[in-house]
Amino acid sequence: MQKKLVLLFLVFTSYGVIAQQTQKPVLHGKNWMAITGKPLAATAGAITFQKGGNAVDAACAMLAATCTMWDVLSWGGETQVLLYNPKNKKVIAINAMGIAPTGATPEFFKNKGYNFPPEYGPLAATTPGTPGGLCYMLAEYGTLSLREVLAPAMQLATGYPIEAQTANSMERGKARIKEWPYSKKVFLPHTGEKREAPEAGEIFVQKDLLQTLTKMVEAEQEALKKKKSRKEAIMAAYNRFYKGDIAREFVRGCQEQGGLITMEDLAKWKPLEEEPLKVNYKGIDVYKLQQWTQGPMLLQSLNILENFDLKAMGYNSTKYIHTLYQAMNLAFADRDFYYGDPYFPPEEPMKGLLSKEYAKQRALFINFEKNDAVIGPGDPYPFEGKTNPYLELMKQRGFVTDTSKRNFMPSHDIRNSASVDNEYMDRLWRGTTSIEAADKEGWVVSITPSGGWLPACIAGNTGVGMSQRMQSFVLDSTLNPFNVVAPGKRPRVTLTPTLALKDGKPYLSFAVQGGDTQDQNLLQFFLNVVEFGMNVQQATEAANINSNQLWLSLGGTKTDDRKPKPGNILLHDKTPEKVRNELKQMGYTLSFDDRTSGPINAIFFDWKHGSFWGGSSNHGEDYGIGW
């Protein structure tokens, strides 16, 4: 039988890519599109669409399902949302990032011997953000009840056939899991046997989590019986999680295991609706979350790259790779020094950082002969009519902001770049999941939720794994004066969904898992579509590069664990020998893999034909369904 999927070969020209072989087909739909990190979770989105829900309802159902399936996240993690509202034709952002708990100060962690907050356990936990973010998003922009949206997740909690990837992650992490009694109870049902975690295909049951979700639905239904509105009923479920009996058990279980989260921490937290940040790249408006994420790094990179003819360089040519690497280095240097929680002082200079004039100045730093290991943060303050209050600190760090002075290496900020060990790469790539949903009414949702990944510390008998996002704070203000841990503050996270509009209409919705690599891969995905004419599936599978010339946001409690590795670059193992040799001559240290990107999920909006094109990477378990 003739295959429906026609495989095309990658053809390089001086102008880019003509065609590219894909391992998975493009998804097509005219009514809706649902894409996320697990096939069963994508099915949850499809079920919700078939119930008559909109893209927000479906996205919430997929979020609930992925959390229940431990798709590198849990219910105690955090949720970051960009959402296009067709009623007012605006992109809005939802900040459902948890906060540092009472007692989380630099002194507290330094007294325990840490240079950064820990990676695992109750002291790594910010307050849960995902339950509140889901309830808020559903109440404000969805159409279905919480009971309808949580139904697939609750079915999964009663028992689902677990996948090998998740089951094996439990088995690998069992030594740490055994440190936490409530985690051991859930993840290691065969304690004492040779294999203590579930086997692939075994029915994995989560009674405590099911009880938690049931309590939330009960609160909603009781409110509806009292003639409360749909929104009020959903928020009754929210209140039971953050202020009621669920909260009390969460706090008890957290503190019993040494955590800091209090009832007051949960009660005072709330999700925030925000204005997203954006830049225009060649007529396309690209939206990212604010500077409490790394999202503006992609916007800064686009502003810098707009000064060059990327298409003429050719897709993944030596010059293109070098230009891309240098632009990302410039943006990452600013990210590492200037980004933080905008609700806490000092105020981040985002107007300057995102100005086109600043980008032109930063572009002058690019040396087209070799990699520049000395790149540090720039000075965006003059571009918003201010004087930089951190010039003395930058001088102490060894950074220069004068484009005529390039030959200085701030050695105390640099880690040996000769090799990249597996532990370092795990920290760079540390994953999450992503969710993309769209419908014919015009609703579009892009989410990068995370936190509470395996091995997770479960809080009491809630079945809820606690976040590990505290590790993204710094304890030393000389590293980043905007991202120092403090009670009530949000860490600067890697999580970064994206929406792009063209001619005022949705053009692309895309997100990816992968720690510090997220905006690197999303930037290249976007350029693959816009500059090199790839469709969404080709762009999700295309070979990327990864820079290691940045401060790691995750993993390692010592400063040396996090330091940049200048010139270290990950390339696809099919990179031509000529490009390899040229990059080596430019001072790069090369490493190779057949996987150079986390699983990218994306939707392209085909206004010519009135349809959706869905793309889901060929790496991982990510899956999409369209209709």
Is pLDDT at 416 greater than 80 in this prediction? no
Domain ranges for the chain, please list them: 1-96+273-452+494-627
Residues 549-571, mean pLDDT to the nearest whole number: 93
Residue 64, both tokens: 């609930």
* Of residues 434 and 1, more confidently modeled: 434
Residue 489 to residues 147, 393, 556, Cα–Cα distance (Å): 32, 23, 21
pLDDT at 408 over 70: no
pLDDT at 616 over 60: yes
Task: Render pLDDT for 82-116 as a digit per residue (tens, 0 to 9).
Answer: 999 999 999 999 999 999 999 999 999 999 999 99
Cβ distance 203 to 160 under 8 Å? yes
Query: Could you give the CA distance from residue 396 to residue 446 in angstroms, rounded to a whole number?
Result: 40
Give me the pLDDT at residue 421, please: 60
Confirm if 179 and 121 have CB atoms less than 8 A apart.
yes
Give Cβ neighbours of residue 297 (< 8 Å, ≥ 6 apart): 328, 331, 332, 334, 335, 339, 519
Helix (H) or strand (E) holding 602: strand 600-606
Write the pLDDT tens digit of every residue in 108-155. Answer: 999 999 999 999 999 999 999 999 999 999 999 999 999 999 999 999
Tell me the per-residue pLDDT of 343-376, one tens digit each, with 9 for 90 and over.
Answer: 999 999 999 999 999 999 999 999 999 999 989 9
- Terminal-residue alpha carbon distance, the chain: 24
Beta pairing partners, 285: 280, 501
Exposed e or buried b per residue across 142-161, where buried means at least 16 C-beta atoms within 10 angstroms of its C-beta: bbbbbbbbbbbbbbbbeebe
Cα dihedral: 414, 419, 423, 428 (round 10):
60
377: pLDDT strictly greater than 60: yes
Banded pLDDT at 527 (limits 50, 70, 90)? very high
For 565-583, what is each residue's pLDDT tens digit? 999 999 999 999 999 999 9
Distance, in Å, from the CA atom of 546 to the CA atom of 86, rounded to the nearest integer, reads: 35
Give the pLDDT of residue 432: 80
Q: Which own/partner contact pairs does 20-25 have at CB distance under 8 Å and 24+ positions apart?
A: 20/534, 20/538, 20/541, 20/542, 22/537, 22/538, 22/541, 22/618, 23/541, 23/618, 24/537, 24/541, 24/616, 24/617, 24/618, 25/537
The conformation of residue 347, written as its DSSP 8-state character, comes to P
Whether the predicted pLDDT of 430 surpasses 70: no
- Over residues 165-221, the pLDDT tens digits come to 999 999 999 999 999 999 999 999 999 999 999 999 999 999 999 999 999 999 999
pLDDT of 261 over the 60 cut: yes
Alpha-carbon distance of 239 to 214, in angstroms, equals: 14
CA 27 to chain centre: 23
Between 5 and 136, the more confident residue is 136
Q: What does the buried/exposed string (b/e) look like for 235-258 if buried means 16 or more CB atoms within 10 Å of the residue's CB? A: bbbbbbbbebebbebbbebbbebe
Give the up-direction half-sphere exposure of residue 389: CA atoms within 13 A in the CB hemisphere.
10
Which amino acid, residue 100? A
Choice between 14 and 402, residue whose per-residue pLDDT is larger: 402
User: Residue 385 pLDDT > 60, yes or no?
Assistant: yes
Rounded to a whole number of angstroms, the CA Rg of the chain reads 23
pLDDT tens, position by position, 25-36: 999 999 999 999
More confident residue, 9 or 290: 290
pLDDT value of position 598: 81
Q: Is the pLDDT of residue 20 over 60?
A: yes
Q: pTM for the whole thing?
A: 0.94
Burial 307-344 (b: 16+ CB within 10 A, else e): bbebbebbbbbbbbbbbbbbbbbbbbbbbbbbbbbbeb
- Which residue carries 């997770």 as its tokens? 456
- Please give the pLDDT value at position 399: 85
Among 472, 474, 470, residue whose Cα is nearest residue 494? 472
Q: How confident is the model at residue 620 (pLDDT cuts 50, 70, 90)?
A: confident
For residue 294, the SS3 value is: coil
Report the SS3 class of residue 143: coil
- Please enumerate in sequence order all residues whose Cβ is within 8 A of that of 248, keeping only pairs 6 or more positions apart, or say none: 263
Distance, in Å, from the CA atom of 242 to the CA atom of 314, rounded to the nearest integer, reads 52
Q: Which two tokens stand for residue 300?
A: 């800064």
pLDDT reading at 53 higher than 90: yes
Once rounded to an integer, what is the mean pLDDT over residues 301-316? Answer: 98
pLDDT digits (tens, 9 = 90+) for 461-516: 999 999 999 999 999 999 999 999 999 999 999 999 999 999 999 999 999 988 99
For residue 15, what pLDDT is reported? 36
Lowest average pLDDT, out of 19-28, 240-249, 493-502, goes to: 19-28
Is-contact 16 532, C-beta < 8 A?
A: yes
pLDDT attached to residue 77: 98
Cis before 455 (ω within 30): yes
| Residue 625 backbone phi and psi in degrees, to 5 | -135, 135
Percent above pLDDT 90 for the chain = 87
| pLDDT over 90 (residue 555) | no
CA distance 529 to 603: 12
Q: Following CA atoms 72, 76, 79, 85 in sequence, which dihedral angle do they give, to the nearest 10 degrees?
A: 120
Task: Give the Cα separation of 465 and 70 in Å (integer).
Answer: 9
Position 6 scores a pLDDT of 33
| Residue from 128, 125, 130, 127 nearest 62 by CA | 130
Tokens for 50, please give them. Answer: 């078939």
Q: Is the dihedral of CA 524, 530, 534, 537 positive or negative?
A: positive
Q: How far is CA 355 from CA 62, 352, 379, in A?
A: 36, 5, 12
**Mean pLDDT over each residue of the chain, to the nearest integer:** 92
**Which of these, 172, 156, 200, 186, lies nearest to 67 by C-alpha position?**
156
